[in-house]
Amino acid sequence: MTDTLINSEKDGIEALPDSARRVALLLREQGHAKPVVLLPETGKTSAEAAAGLGCEVAQIAKSILFRRRKDDAPVLVIASGANRVDEKKVEAHVGEIGRADAKFVREMTGYAIGGVCPIGHATRPVTLIDADLFALDSLWAAAGHPHAVFNLSPQELAAMTGAPVVDVALREV
């Protein structure tokens, strides 16, 4: 990481935007020891976040929200930044899904697109974790704001979300 990152542990949680501060406090309540950091540039895409952190794109645990068609329930897929999500694989686990627009994402999660955290949602989503994340030791996930991220292990992600680990990656044949 570069010295230009704002670290909530060093600089104080008060230095974070409101939504990232909420995540930092939630992480603290859960006993997560690693701080929320602010990227100097946006982390809206996995490539942008990885570049700002100096890590591999695969280490970005991106949160993608869908809308389950039968009941409008939010469906959160936490996938490796290197993967495209295979919607048919997701549907095999949760039923038919559709795209979620920015308004739905904000209403269901409390976060804007590009900053959706794996935890702390306004409405608890049905959640799936990409099995490919478990090939890595260290991940970075959004912390409630397009510039905010936090570090965790795949095992911590599974423990925090309580979500099943499944194959959701689109595999080109």
Sequence letter at residue 59: Q
Higher model confidence: residue 12 or residue 138?
Answer: 138
- Fold designation for 6-166: YbaK protein (3.90.960)
Burial track 52-76 (b if 16+ CB lie within 10 A, e otherwise): bbebebbbbbbbbbbbbeeeebbbb
Residue 5: predicted pLDDT: 58
* pLDDT tens-digit map of 54-97: 999 999 999 999 999 999 999 999 999 999 999 999 999 999 99
d(CA 133, CA 141): 11
Burial track 14-49 (b if 16+ CB lie within 10 A, e otherwise): eebbebbbbbbebbeeeebebbbbbbeeebbebebb
SS3 142: strand
Question: Is the pLDDT at 37 greater than 60, yes or no?
Answer: yes
pTM exceeds cut of 0.85: yes
d(CA 150, CA 143): 6
Give the angle subtended at the CA of 95 by the CAs of 171 and 107, to the nearest 5°.
100
Question: What are the domain boundaries of the chain?
Answer: 6-166
